Amino acid sequence: MHTEHIENVPTPPPLSGSTFCTAWTLDVPAVLVVFVLGVAYLAVARRQQTWAPGRTTAFLAGLATLIVVTCSFLGVYDTTLFWVRATQNTVLLMVTPLLLALGAPVTLLMRTAPPGLAGWLRRHGRGPLARFVTFPLSVTVVLIAPFLVLYLTPLYNVTLDSAVVGGLVRVALVLAGFLYFYSRVQLDPTPRDDSHLVSVWISFTEVVFDGALGLVLWLGPLLAPAHYDAVHRGWGPDPRTDQVIGAGVLWIGGDVAGLPFVGALFIRWSRDDEKRAKQLDRRLDEESEAGVAPPGGLWWENDPELAARFRRR
């Protein structure tokens, strides 16, 4: 029954240089979501005179990636080629959420929300549940678990056969990625103020798990062989080569996709250090003008953050 259903679905034409650009489809739910979010964001951002254009550009670019992965050749061939689906999922977990988080949508919402909603967000935004969800170990699991569950369980096969399940998995990937990048980039107000160094270690952990998953898919059994056999492509790479390419996309592509985040992270880290240094200089200048004697001891003992960490016992 399953095979007959797939055989009745027309196989797309061979993927070539021309079809990379000409193969398009209309994913109505994705287009509607992008339209609603884009219009809402622009309408609210236009009322903020000090809103940085770069944030708007990043958010709209994130929405554009949703259109690309669902309506371009990636959407046309996502049930035909393993590597296409792998590319689609990598973008949804690692690229789209990062761009959306760089748009600081939570800050925009907090500035324009009705007083009741804004108050509710402030109360629960730093509550126990929010702090647990954004705890470094929690967000590490949130970033790593989706691909492990998707590719190491029967869920992957289900996403190929059910458009509804496939759509829900796409939503879950974007939400998981957004939670991670929101809590790590920290452009928006977050429940926790963890060091940026924690994010660097999480990134290294993600690289290790990407490599492990890539090796499993490269050397392990074929995923959804009945589905891909029933498609009867007759063109392109054979199923084993297709999965090896997809494994490389998930492994190397995932790491490459994470490089912009690492860059953004170091930029934030540098700016936070500069801001903290200016605050310390301003405090010392104010104390000097007030006639307060400069504190003794080592320099790091006078820095509020470092002093709390390395206080002498």
Structure tokens given for 110: 């907090």
Structure tokens given for 230: 């029933």
**Number of other residues whose CB lies within 10 A of the CB of residue 35:** 12
Whether residue 167 is found in the same domain as residue 252: yes
CA 155 – CA 166 distance, rounded (Å): 9
CA 103 – CA 156 distance, rounded (Å): 31
Residue 86 has pLDDT above 90, yes or no: yes
Whether residue 247 is found in the same domain as residue 271: no
CA 55 – CA 34 distance, rounded (Å): 16
Whether residue 9 is found in the same domain as residue 140: yes
Highest average pLDDT, of 21-30, 207-216, 226-235, comes from 21-30
Domain containing residue 309: 258-313
Residue 298 has pLDDT above 60, yes or no: no
Residues 210, 250 contacting (CB under 8 angstroms): yes
Domain boundary among 214, 235, 257: 257
CA 210 – CA 254 distance, rounded (Å): 7
Residue 308 has pLDDT above 80, yes or no: no
Domain boundary among 241, 257, 273: 257
Helices 82-90/163-185 angle, 10° precision? 40
Per-residue pLDDT, 5: 44
Say how many residues make up the chain.
Answer: 313
Q: Which helix (H) or strand (E) holds 190?
A: none
Q: Which residue has the tokens 């999480």?
A: 202
Whether residue 227 is found in the same domain as residue 263: no
Q: What is the pLDDT of residues 140-182, one digit of tens each?
A: 888 889 999 999 999 999 999 999 999 999 999 999 999 988 8
> Position 251: which residue type?
W
Per-residue pLDDT, 300: 46
Q: Which has the closest alpha carbon to 29: 19, 37, 21?
A: 37
Q: How many helices (H) and strands (E) does the chain have?
A: 19, 0
Domain boundary among 213, 231, 257: 257
Of the two residues 308 and 29, the one the predictor is more confident about is 29
CA 89 – CA 253 distance, rounded (Å): 11
The model carries a pTM of: 0.79
Structure tokens given for 102: 């760089």
Q: What is the pLDDT of residues 60-80, one digit of tens each?
A: 999 999 999 999 999 999 999
Whether residue 218 is found in the same domain as residue 300: no
Residues 222, 240 contacting (CB under 8 angstroms): yes
> Position 27: which residue type?
D
Whether residue 65 is found in the same domain as residue 118: yes
Whether residue 75 is found in the same domain as residue 16: yes
CA 242 – CA 81 distance, rounded (Å): 7
Query: 302-306 long-range CB contacts below 8 Å, 24 or more apart?
Result: 303/276, 304/280, 305/276
CA 104 – CA 57 distance, rounded (Å): 11
Q: What is the pLDDT of residues 211-229, one digit of tens each?
A: 889 899 999 999 999 999 8
Count of domains forming the chain: 2
Whether residue 105 is found in the same domain as residue 215: yes
Whether residue 175 is found in the same domain as residue 265: no
Whether residue 238 is found in the same domain as residue 291: no
Whether residue 25 is found in the same domain as residue 109: yes
**Number of other residues whose CB lies within 10 A of the CB of residue 121:** 16
Per-residue pLDDT, 4: 41
Whether residue 312 is found in the same domain as residue 247: no
